[in-house]
Amino acid sequence: MPGARAAPARASRTTGSNRRLRAVNNDYGPARKLLVGRERQTFESRLHARGFRTGFEPAGRSRRGDREAADAMGLMLFEAIRRAAAGCGRKRIAVAGTDEAAIEALVAARNMGLAELVLVEAGGQESAQRIAGPSGASLDGFRIVAADGVEAAAVEAVRLVRDGEADICMKGSVPTDAFMRAVLDRDRGLRSGRLISHAAVLTSARLKRTFIVTDGGVNIAPSLEEKAEILRNALPLARALGSPRPKVAVMAAVEKPNPKMPATMDAAALAGMAARGEFGECDVGGPLALDNAVSEEDARKKGIEHPVAGRAEILLVPDIHSGNLMAKAIMYFSECEFGGIVMGTRAPVAFLSRADSAATRLNSIALAVLTAGGL
C-alpha cells in the first residue's frame, strides 16, 4: 500500500537487538561519541528514555519502543554537526579556486581543527595572498598549488583527491560546470559506479529542525530508478546526522497518486519499495506535499496517518527545479543554516554556490568532514 511502513522480518529478538546495536554504532555512533558534556547526555538520553540501545545499557524494550525512540531523535542541528566534525580529526581538503568568503571559511575550518587545506588557484600563491589580503587572513599552513586557469584548477583539485593526496574535494570560486565536469569525468573524475546526487542540509530556526533536501543540484529529471538511488544516497547521510531510522517524504504537489502527475506515481512506487524492505531501516511516505511532510498539525487536519507525516527528515523532490527552488526559498525567505554535499562519489565533495556565505561554506566543510570515509 502506498506510504506503508517497511517491516523487515527478524529471526529473533537477540538478532534484532544486535542489528539495532550495529546500526547505532556504525551509522550515528561516531557522531554521538564526538559530542561532549551536556550535548552528548541529551543526545543519548533521548534514546535511553525510550529504551533504544546505544551499546551501554540493556535494550529492555520492544521493536515498537525502538521506533518511538527513533521518532524522538531528528537530525543534528548545525552547531552539533560542526562540533562533531571537529572531533573527527583534520581532513585534507582540496579547494578548486578561492575568493574572500572561501578564505574566511577555510581559515575558520583550519582554526577549528577540521582541515588541512590545499588551495588550487589560478595564479598560485600571489593570487591567493591578494584575495586574502583585505581581510587580513593568514594562510599559514595552507598548501597552495598553481593552476593554469579555472578549468585546470578544478581538474587538479579532483586529481589530488583521486590520487589520495586529499580526502575531500571542495568547489571554491570555479564555475559549477567546470567543477562538475572534473568530478564526473569518467576517466579522471570521482565516479564510484553509483548515481551521483546532491544533498542540501538545512536547519530551520523556526522549526528548530534539520532537513535534507535532495536532489536540487545534479540530476535534472530523475527517473523512478534514479530517484531510488538518490534516496539510497541520502540515507547514510541522515544516519550520520543522528537518525537511526530516517524518515523520507517523497514530495509532490498533492497527497494522492494521480496518473496525470507522474511525480505522485513515482512517490507511491518508492513508498511501496520501502514497504517491501528495499531501502532497509527507514520510513518512506509519499506522495506528500510540503505542508504535511513537515507539519504534524497539517497532516492531522488532512487525515494523513504515517510515520513520516509531519516528521520528515529527508525531502526527496521530483526534479532539479523543485529542489533548487525549495532550498533557495528556505535560504532567502527564512532564517536558516545551510550546507551542501555531493553524494555517490568516491570521496566527499563539498558543493557550493559562489554566492554562498562563509558560514554556509563552513557548514559544508563540516558535513564533508563528518562523512569522510563513511559514505
Rounded to an integer, what distance in angstroms lies between the CA atom of residue 91 and that of residue 109?
10
Whether the Cβ atoms of residue 249 and residue 310 lie closer than 8 Å to each other: no
- Whether the per-residue pLDDT at 308 is higher than 90: the answer is yes
Show Cβ contacts of residue 193 under 8 Å, excluding neighbours closer than 6 positions. Answer: none
What's the confidence (pLDDT) of residue 129? 76
Q: What tens digit of pLDDT does each residue of 204-229 get? A: 888 889 999 999 999 999 999 999 99
- Quick one: angle between helices 124-132 and 100-111, nearest 10? 90
Helix (H, G, I), strand (E, B) or coil at 106: helix
Q: Which domains does the chain have, with CATH numbers?
A: 13-73 (no CATH), 85-192+345-371 (3.40.50.10950), 197-338 (3.40.718.10)
What's the confidence (pLDDT) of residue 60? 35
Cell of 206: 523556526
Q: What tens digit of pLDDT does each residue of 115-155 get? A: 999 999 887 777 887 787 677 777 888 899 999 999 999 99
Which has the higher per-residue pLDDT, 215 or 46?
215
**pLDDT cut 70: percent of the chain above it:** 79
Whether the Cβ atoms of residue 252 and residue 287 lie closer than 8 Å to each other: yes
pTM score, whole prediction: 0.79
Alpha carbon distance, N-terminus to C-terminus of the chain: 31
Give the gyration radius of the chain's Cα atoms.
Answer: 21
Cell of 116: 588541512
Which has the higher per-residue pLDDT, 22 or 163?
163
- Whether the per-residue pLDDT at 70 is higher than 60: the answer is no
Cell of 158: 579532483
Rounded to an integer, what distance in angstroms lies between the CA atom of residue 99 and that of residue 47?
43
